[in-house]
Amino acid sequence: MAKEVSIKGYQCEKCGKAYAFENQADDCCKEYFCRECGVKLDKYHTLCERCKEKVAYEKAKKMTYEEYVKEYGDNMVVFGDDYYSEIEDVLDYCVQNEIEPPKYVWGTSKQTVKLDADTIEENALSDVFEDAKFSYKGMEELRTFLDEWNKKHRIDYYIEEPIVVYVPEDMLKDLDKQI
């Protein structure tokens, strides 16, 4: 047997589209502007690309290239969307592509992918009865094996960090001589 119900909804005042929640109706035709410079943006964005870079730069740790190499060793640097082994590679890329060289690049942190015994056990037993566990001795054997395996088959990767690394002035001057 059917029962009559009332459903409450919300409507965008500008276009008339209906929503289940008030905040959805409020956001429907809302215009978005950069909170730093005021330029109009796509829906749900609050910073334009130029201001996003500026804000990130202001908050970042600043280092000379020499300081970065000393502290972070063999970490890569980031220019645009690409990762480079060293600043010289960035400058070579700029020369080859006739791009103005940057005054700074972004630093990275090094991460390592490792297989983990506890995660493997959890995944292996996910469809088995609740509280199922492999033996303590078996798990210790797996951990020992994985420690050695991870050392032998490690995969390193880099993540861009809020570290500004200044391109040395002498490198930029040398680059000017080449152009």
Sort strands 155-166 and 61-64 into parallel, antiparallel or unpaired: parallel
Model pTM? 0.71
User: CB within 8 A of 19, min separation 6: which ones?
Assistant: 9, 10, 11, 12, 25, 28
| pLDDT tens-digit map of 146-156 | 999 999 998 99
| pLDDT tens-digit map of 13-67 | 999 999 999 999 999 999 999 999 999 999 889 999 999 999 999 999 999 999 9
